Amino acid sequence: MTGCKEIDDYIRLVREGEYPVCKWQLLLCDFVERVFASEDIRIDTEQLAEYLSYQKYFPFGLFPWEKFCFALHNCCYRQNGTLRFPVLALYVGRGTGKNGYLGFEDFCLLTDTNGVQEYHIDIFATSEDQAKQSWKDVYNVLEANKRKMKKHFDWNMERITNLDTNSEFRYRTSAPKTKDGGRPGKTDFDEYHAYENYKLIEVATTGLGKKRFPRRTIMSTDGDVRGGPLDDLTETGNAVLLGELPDNGVLYFLCALDDDEEVHDEQMWHKPNPSLRYLPNLMEEMRLEYVEYLRNPAANTAFIKKRMNRPPRITENGVAPWEQIAATEQPIPESDLIGRPCVIGIDYMKTTDFLGAGLLWRVGDRDVWLSHTWVCSQSADLNRIKAPLREWEARGLVTFVDAVEIPPELPCVWLANEAAKRNAPMLLAGIDDYRYALLKKALEEINFSADKDRKNVHLIRPRDEMRRIPQITSGFVGHRFVWGDSPVMRWMTNNAKTVTSAAGNITYGKIEPKSRKTDTFKAFVAAECVSDVLDAYADKAAGAPLPSGCWTYG
C-alpha cells in the first residue's frame, strides 16, 4: 500500500469487490502501488487534511474515489517538489458527480493552502453553460457562506477571486482566438468528448508552466465524436494502465462497462459510476432510463453512451464500428500502384456544398483508396460543421473553392493528375445516376463517358449500392480497406448510416444531412460498385490487356 489513508482506502474498496469495478480500476490500483513502490514520492498529508477540511463549506462530502483522485493529483510530490500527477483524466458515467468534484478541487487550489500567488484557474468547455457548471458550484458555496467568505473572496457572475492569493477562477468558451496568452496555474476541460480536435486544447494550455504546480483536470462522459481527443485519451490511458506506455504525469481514472451485455445487469452499472453505491435516487432514475433504452435503443443512446461510457459499436445503424473505420488508417503502398489499373468514384449532393472523388486500386486482397474533398466556401452548411476543415485543408486533404459553386473540372483534373503520377490506367468511373449530367462535359475531357460508343462511366443506382454493401461490410470487418491517414474519410464514413426501405433493401444515407457530410465516403462506395473490373488486372504480372477506351497516361 501507499501509506496514505485516502489512497489505500479506495484501493482496498476496489479489491474487496463488494461492488463490481471495471478492468481499468483494477489496473489503476496496480499502477498506483507500482509507482509508490518504485519511485521516491510522498503525499503531503498535512496539506491534504487542510484541503479536505474545506468540505464543511460544501453541501456534499467527497466519496472515496474522489479523495483518492484528489490526494494523488494535488498532494503527491516528487523529491524535487514537483507534482507527480499534474494531470487528472476523469472518464466516468453521467451522474458520478465529476462537476461537484471539480468545483471542490478548484476552490481548494485558489486558497493559500496551495501556496501559490495568482494561481489562476480556467475552465474550458465547448458551451458556456457547460463551462459554468463547476464554476457555479463554487459560486453557490460562496453565496451560502457570505459572512465567512467575504473575508477571503470577492466574486461576481464572471469571476471569483481569492483575496489572500489574488487567484482568479474563470469559465471560458470555445473561441480559441480569445484564449491565447495568460498565465494560468491550472486549466480544466469539461466534457472532453465534445472536442472535435486539439485546437482549443493547445491554445488553452500554452500558458501553463509559468506558475508553480501547473495542473490540468480533464473530465468527460463518452459522446458522439469518434477519432477525437477523447478516443486518444482512453486509448492512451488503457496502454498506460497496462504498462505499455509511460504515464507522463497523467493519472487516468477511467470507468466504463467492460462489455456491451453488462448493460442488462444493473449490478454492473457500478462499473462506470463509482458513486452509484451512495446514490439510491440515481439508481432509481437509471432504472427508468434503462426501460426506455430497452424499448427503443436507437432513440435512447445516451443511456449506453453517457451513463455506461459504452458507446454503441455501430452508431445509428452506422456503416461500421469505429474501430473498423479507424483500421483503414494504413499507409498507401505507393510502389504497388505504379502502372496498376484503377477505377474512380465521384459523389456530391450539390456543387454549392461538398464534392468527393477518388481512385481505387485492388492490391492483393486489399482495396487502396486515394481521395480528395472539395468544399464550396459559400456553402450554407459550413457554420453547422464542427470538423476541422481548415486543418485538413492545410494537410492537403481538402480544397476550399472560393466561388458560388465547385467547377466540375476540378475533380476530373485532380483524378487525371493523380493517375498520371502513378502511370495508372483508369478503367471505369462510378458516379450517381442523378449527378452525371453536370459532370458529363468535364468527364469527357479525360475520356470518360456513359454514351454507348465508350461506356466507361457506370451510372450508380440504389440497386448497385444495395448489392455492394455486403462486400463493403466484409471489407471493414476484414480490415481490407487502405485509406492512408485520412481523417476526412473516417469522419465522412462515421457520418453515414444504413437505411432499410419498406421492401427490405439497404442503402447508405446520412445520419444528419446538414452537419455530417458523407460525399467522399459515397464516392468510395461508387468506386466499389465498379471495382469488379479490377479483378482481371489485380496482378500486373498477369499481363491482361486493358479494355479499349480506358484512360491511360499520355
Domain-ending residue, one of 261, 287, 310: 261
- Kindly tell me if the per-residue pLDDT of 179 is higher than 50: no
- Kindly tell me if the per-residue pLDDT of 216 is higher than 60: yes
Distances (CA, A) of 9 to 68, 69, 241: 8, 12, 20
Give mean pLDDT, residues 258-262. Answer: 92
Residue 348: the pLDDT is 87
Supply the pTM of this predicted model. 0.65
| Residue 385 counted as domain residue | yes
**Looking at the structure, do residues 362 and 213 belong to the same domain, yes or no?**
no
**Looking at the structure, do residues 254 and 331 belong to the same domain, yes or no?**
no
| Residue 281 counted as domain residue | no
Average of per-residue pLDDT values in the chain: 90
Residue 546 backbone phi and psi in degrees, to 5: -75, 150
Instruction: Sort strands 153-155 and 159-162 into parallel, antiparallel or unpaired.
Output: antiparallel
Residue 190, C-beta contacts closer than 8 angstroms, at least 6 positions apart: 99, 102, 123, 124, 125, 130, 131, 133, 134, 219, 220
| Residue 301 counted as domain residue | no
Give mean pLDDT, residues 75-102. Answer: 97
Tell whether the torsion through CA atoms of 535, 540, 542 and 548 is positive or negative: positive
CB 76 within 8 A of CB 84: yes
CB 99 within 8 A of CB 133: yes
CB 114 within 8 A of CB 108: yes
- Residue that has been written with the C-alpha cell 497516361 in this structure: 553
**Looking at the structure, do residues 163 and 27 belong to the same domain, yes or no?**
yes
| Residue 551 counted as domain residue | no
pLDDT digits (tens, 9 = 90+) for 226-242: 778 998 899 899 999 99
Give mean pLDDT, residues 358-379. Answer: 95
DSSP summary character for residue 544: P
Residue 155 backbone phi and psi in degrees, to 5: -150, 150
Concatenate the DSSP letters of all residues of 477-519 into one string.
Answer: HTT-EE--S-HHHHHHHHTEEEEE-TTS-EEEEESSTTTS--H
CB 199 within 8 A of CB 388: yes
Give 280's pLDDT tier (boundaries 50, 70, 90): very high
Concatenate the DSSP letters of all residues of 264-327 into one string.
Answer: G-GGGGGTT-TTGGG-HHHHHHHHHHHHHHHH-GGG-HHIIIIISS---SSTTSBSS-HHHHHT
| CB neighbour burial string for 172-191, b if at least 16 within 10 angstroms, e if fewer | bbbeeeebeebebbbbbbbb
Give mean pLDDT, residues 298-320. Answer: 79
Residue 491: the pLDDT is 92
Q: How far is CA 454 from the centre of its chain?
A: 45
pLDDT digits (tens, 9 = 90+) for 381-415: 888 887 889 999 999 999 999 998 899 899 999 99
| Residue 391 counted as domain residue | yes
Question: What CATH number has the domain bearing residue 182?
Answer: 3.40.50.300
**Looking at the structure, do residues 334 and 231 belong to the same domain, yes or no?**
no
Give mean pLDDT, residues 159-168. Answer: 95
Residue 544: the pLDDT is 65
Residues comprising the chain, all counted: 554
Question: What CATH number has the domain bearing residue 328?
Answer: 3.30.420.240
Residue 43 backbone phi and psi in degrees, to 5: -100, 130
Residue 453: the pLDDT is 60
Amino acid, res. 444 = E
* Residue of 337, 397, 407, 334 whose CA lies nearest to 376: 407
Give the separation between CA 474 and CA 496, rounded to whole angstroms.
17
| Residue 42 counted as domain residue | yes
Q: What percent of the chain has pLDDT over 70?
A: 93
**Looking at the structure, do residues 148 and 49 belong to the same domain, yes or no?**
yes
Give the separation between CA 316 and CA 323, rounded to whole angstroms.
16
Residue 545 backbone phi and psi in degrees, to 5: -70, 145
Residue 536, C-beta contacts closer than 8 angstroms, at least 6 positions apart: 542, 544
**Looking at the structure, do residues 194 and 72 belong to the same domain, yes or no?**
yes
Give mean pLDDT, residues 480-497. Answer: 94
Give the separation between CA 535 and CA 411, rounded to whole angstroms.
25
* Residue of 335, 537, 542, 528 whose CA lies nearest to 423: 335
* Residue of 484, 518, 481, 480 whose CA lies nearest to 498: 518
Question: Based on the structure, what is the number of domains in the chain?
Answer: 2
**Looking at the structure, do residues 405 and 513 belong to the same domain, yes or no?**
yes
Give mean pLDDT, residues 504-531. Answer: 88
**Looking at the structure, do residues 234 and 118 belong to the same domain, yes or no?**
yes
Give the separation between CA 457 and CA 453, rounded to whole angstroms.
11
| Residue 272 counted as domain residue | no
Residue 552: the pLDDT is 63
CB atoms within 10 A of CB 38: 8
Give mean pLDDT, residues 4-10. Answer: 97
Its domain, for residue 419, covers 322-542
Give mean pLDDT, residues 118-127. Answer: 92
CB atoms within 10 A of CB 167: 26
C-alpha cell at 519: 460525399
Give 514's pLDDT tier (boundaries 50, 70, 90): confident
* Residue of 214, 139, 213 whose CA lies nearest to 171: 139
Range scoring the smallest mean pLDDT among 64-78, 483-497, 539-553? 539-553
Amino acid, res. 371 = S
Concatenate the DSSP letters of all residues of 168-179 into one string.
Answer: EEEEE-S-GGGS
Give 553's pLDDT tier (boundaries 50, 70, 90): low
**Looking at the structure, do residues 84 and 185 belong to the same domain, yes or no?**
yes
**Looking at the structure, do residues 103 and 252 belong to the same domain, yes or no?**
yes
Domain-ending residue, one of 261, 284, 301: 261
| Residue 77 counted as domain residue | yes
**Looking at the structure, do residues 343 and 481 belong to the same domain, yes or no?**
yes
- Kindly tell me if the per-residue pLDDT of 536 is higher than 90: no
Range scoring the smallest mean pLDDT among 138-147, 383-392, 494-503, 514-523? 494-503
CB 301 within 8 A of CB 384: no
Give 314's pLDDT tier (boundaries 50, 70, 90): very low
CB atoms within 10 A of CB 284: 9
**Looking at the structure, do residues 53 and 162 belong to the same domain, yes or no?**
yes
| Helices 5-16 and 64-74, axial angle in degrees (round to 10) | 140
Domain-ending residue, one of 215, 241, 261: 261
